[in-house]
A and B are shown apart, each in its own frame.
Chain A
Amino acid sequence: MIRDITLGQYYPGDSPIHRLDPRIKIIATVLYIVELFIVNSFIGFGICAGVLFVTVAISKVPISYIMRGLKPILLILLFTFFLNIFMVDGRVLWKIGFLKVTDNGLYTAVFMSIRLLLLIIGSSLLTLATTPISLTDGIERLLTPLQKIGVPTHEIAMMMSIALRFIPTLLEETDKIMKAQQARGADFESGNIFKRAKSLIPILVPLFVSAFRIAQDLAMAMEARCYRGGKGRTRLHEMKFKAKDIWALIALNAFLVFIILERIYMTKVGG
């Protein structure tokens, strides 16, 4: 069914990670990505993987669920792996025709793949353990300083949450239109790619029309409920840092310092 599609891959739960302030989670994810690029040794990756594993365990999101989310990017992963293996110069290990595998190539390929894998698992944990709505709330709060230079942060967040809200509605609408067209003999499944693309026009035109109608209805309903922009608005979910958020922040900083020290140490040993 079209309405079963999960949004932003959120995995419902009530773990400490789920309950963390979304701002902390966003900052943590950004820091974690930065750390992955600071790290230049396998030991460093080991530490990052360890921290990630503990975080996943606390969040109680099943590993299998995370792995399922990796499937679509497997191709990119393999592509980077092979690109690195064959393109980097160094001591030749094997030679297959014009392709040669070098020691540096192999090293970079494995290195980059691990980095990419950790990066994707880490950032998908953010969307898995945070509801889309609190994610947009968190982004709004984090962007607030930009309001001073004229960035409409409230409007951006409002647009994001309305977009999230209306994805299922528009999917349903698409479903309805497609069925209506099929009932009148439309064919979406045969013919070459151009023919199929062309057959989408009778779906897209009514879909756009109804999207505008929905937008008009919604705007009126929002006005009727006294919506007048972000000014003077309060929120049901207040965002206040609690003790656990402070602890998470401390742990994050400790992790960052640790990774930087590790990098310095490894460069000294290596060089």
Chain B
Amino acid sequence: MKSIIKIENLIFEYMGEEDQEPVKAINNISLDIEEGSFTAIIGQNGSGKSTLAKNLNGLLLPSGGAIYVNGWDTKDDEHIWDVRQTAGMVFQNPDNQLVSSIVEDDVAFGPENLGVEPKLIRKRVDEALESVNMGEYKRKAPHLLSGGQKQRIAIAGVVAMRPKCIIFDEPTAMLDPRGRNDIMDIIKELHEEGITVVLITHFMDEAVRAERVIILNKGTVLLDGTPEEVFKEHELIRSVNLDVPMAVELGAKLRSRGIKVPEEVVTIEEMVEFVCQYK
């Protein structure tokens, strides 16, 4: 499969205080994100996951190494807008990423910036709002909506730009459980429609829904693989102060009591399936 984002030996340094050494937020990461894939990136606060996300569409530029989005170097000024259109981004705080006081105007903001024809903008806005089930709210003011609804508007705003890839930077961190579920369902749907999804999160139960899980620790890749492969290493994961998904934890506890739960059981659904079939 073709890779849409190619990260080569990425180093990112934050400037520290004067006469102090710069802080390395990302220390030599190389990754390939395949087109149409669903990747979850997890890590503690300070693991560099948010910095990595902002590097993926040129909001931050690498201090060393390079990132190619759809073949364009993010450091190339000429293609920066192509990069950002290809790799859209949804941020953590739903309030601080909406620009307009009317929902449909906000969703139109991206296409307007791209210079899309007004008639086509209308079509894209309506489709994008439908895809997040917010069609009926298009004339409403965002500040009267719930956090989850605002986040759905933010997603619609990115979808309307027709990106190939969407980077979600902890999109559910500020939402209640219901809003969180809604957003996860929408992310899953977008992935099924063919959009490449990169989900930055610290909720393990969200990560298990991805096809590939990458765990970052102190700016480097600790683990990388399918959820089954990664969560097999639950002791290693715990050693860097991260939780493991509930089903994995339960599986480990059951195994220690002599019940042979297969290592592949990582989601709650799979665990339910296993328990129901257990004799």
- Mark A residues whose CB is within 8 Å of B: 3, 7, 131-133, 161-162, 164-165, 168-169, 172, 213-214, 217-218, 220-228, 232-238
List residues 215-244 of chain B with CB under 8 A from any CB of chain A.
none
Q: Provide the bound-state CA to CA distance between A238 and B116, in Å.
A: 12
- B95 lies within 8 A of A169 (CB): yes
- B105 lies within 8 A of A236 (CB): yes
- B115 lies within 8 A of A232 (CB): yes
- A224 lies within 8 A of B85 (CB): no
- B112 lies within 8 A of A238 (CB): no
Q: Separation in Å of the B9 CB from the closest CB of chain A?
A: 24
- A133 lies within 8 A of B100 (CB): yes
Please name all residues of chain B whose beta carbon is closer than 8 Å to the beta carbon of A164 when the two chains form the complex.
101
Least CB separation from A8: chain B residue: B101
Q: Given that A3-B143, A165-B100, A225-B161 are known contacts, is A133 also in contact with B105, CB under 8 Å in the complex?
A: yes
Please name all residues of chain A whose beta carbon is closer than 8 Å to the beta carbon of B97 when the two chains form the complex.
217-218, 221
Please name all residues of chain A whose beta carbon is closer than 8 Å to the beta carbon of B100 when the two chains form the complex.
133, 161, 165
- B101 lies within 8 A of A132 (CB): yes
Please name all residues of chain A whose beta carbon is closer than 8 Å to the beta carbon of B118 when the two chains form the complex.
234-238
> Which of B13-21, B24-32, B86-94, B204-212 interfaces with chain A?
B86-94
Q: Separation in Å of the B88 CB from the closest CB of chain A?
A: 7
Q: Which of B84, B95, B114, B115 has the most CB of A within 10 A?
A: B95
Least CB separation from A164: chain B residue: B101
Q: Separation in Å of the A222 CB from the closest CB of chain B?
A: 6
Q: Provide the bound-state CA to CA distance between A218 and B84, in Å.
A: 16
Q: Separation in Å of the B228 CB from the closest CB of chain A?
A: 33
Please name all residues of chain B whose beta carbon is closer than 8 Å to the beta carbon of A222 when the two chains form the complex.
99, 109
Please name all residues of chain B whose beta carbon is closer than 8 Å to the beta carbon of A224 when the two chains form the complex.
57, 59, 84, 88-89, 91
Q: Given that A224-B88, A227-B113 are known contacts, is A165 also in contact with B57, CB under 8 Å in the complex?
A: no
- A226 lies within 8 A of B59 (CB): no
Q: Separation in Å of the A13 CB from the closest CB of chain B?
A: 12
Q: Given that A228-B113, A234-B115 are known contacts, is A223 also in contact with B121, CB under 8 Å in the complex?
A: no
Please name all residues of chain A whose beta carbon is closer than 8 Å to the beta carbon of B157 when the two chains form the complex.
225
- B109 lies within 8 A of A227 (CB): yes
Please name all residues of chain B whose beta carbon is closer than 8 Å to the beta carbon of A220 when the two chains form the complex.
54, 59, 91
The reply on B72 being an interface residue by CB < 8 A is no
Is chain A's binding surface mostly helix, strand, loop or mixed?
helix
Please name all residues of chain B whose beta carbon is closer than 8 Å to the beta carbon of A221 when the two chains form the complex.
89, 91, 96-97, 99, 154
Q: 8 A-B Cβ contacts within 8 A?
A: A131-B102, A132-B101, A161-B101, A164-B101, A225-B110, A233-B112, A234-B112, A236-B104
- Mark B residues whose CB is within 8 Å of A: 54, 57, 59, 81, 84-85, 88-89, 91, 93, 95-102, 104-105, 108-118, 121-122, 125, 141-144, 154, 157-158, 161
Least CB separation from A238: chain B residue: B118
Please name all residues of chain B whose beta carbon is closer than 8 Å to the beta carbon of A214 when the two chains form the complex.
95-96
- A234 lies within 8 A of B117 (CB): yes
Least CB separation from B157: chain A residue: A225
Least CB separation from B144: chain A residue: A3
Please name all residues of chain B whose beta carbon is closer than 8 Å to the beta carbon of A227 when the two chains form the complex.
109, 113
Q: Provide the bound-state CA to CA distance between A161 and B161, in Å.
A: 21
Partner pick for B81 among A172, A226, A235, CB 8 A cutoff: A226
Please name all residues of chain A whose beta carbon is closer than 8 Å to the beta carbon of B143 when the two chains form the complex.
3, 168-169, 172
- B59 lies within 8 A of A228 (CB): no
Q: Separation in Å of the A199 CB from the closest CB of chain B?
A: 27
- B114 lies within 8 A of A236 (CB): no
Q: Separation in Å of the B37 CB from the closest CB of chain A?
A: 21
Q: Provide the bound-state CA to CA distance between A162 and B105, in Å.
A: 12
Please name all residues of chain B whose beta carbon is closer than 8 Å to the beta carbon of A165 when the two chains form the complex.
98-101, 142
- A218 lies within 8 A of B116 (CB): no
Least CB separation from A224: chain B residue: B89
Partner pick for A233 among B113, B122, B142, CB 8 A cutoff: B113
Please name all residues of chain B whose beta carbon is closer than 8 Å to the beta carbon of A232 when the two chains form the complex.
115
- A236 lies within 8 A of B122 (CB): yes
Q: Provide the bound-state CA to CA distance between A162 and B118, in Å.
A: 21
Partner pick for A218 among B81, B96, B113, B161, CB 8 A cutoff: B96
Q: Which 6 pairs of residues, A with B, have the shortest CB-CB distance? A: A221-B97, A217-B96, A236-B108, A168-B143, A225-B110, A226-B113
Q: Provide the bound-state CA to CA distance between A222 and B98, in Å.
A: 9
Q: Separation in Å of the A103 CB from the closest CB of chain B?
A: 51
A169-B95, A224-B84, A236-B125 given; 12 more Cβ-contact pairs under 8 Å = A131-B102, A132-B101, A165-B99, A169-B143, A172-B143, A217-B97, A220-B54, A224-B57, A224-B89, A226-B81, A234-B111, A234-B118
Q: Which of A3, A161, A221, A235 has the most CB of B within 10 A?
A: A221
- B84 lies within 8 A of A226 (CB): yes
- A133 lies within 8 A of B89 (CB): no
Least CB separation from B160: chain A residue: A225
Partner pick for B99 among A131, A168, A172, A218, CB 8 A cutoff: A218
Please name all residues of chain A whose beta carbon is closer than 8 Å to the beta carbon of B110 when the two chains form the complex.
225-226
Q: Separation in Å of the A211 CB from the closest CB of chain B?
A: 11
Q: Given that A132-B101, A217-B97 are known contacts, is A236 also in contact with B113, CB under 8 Å in the complex?
A: no
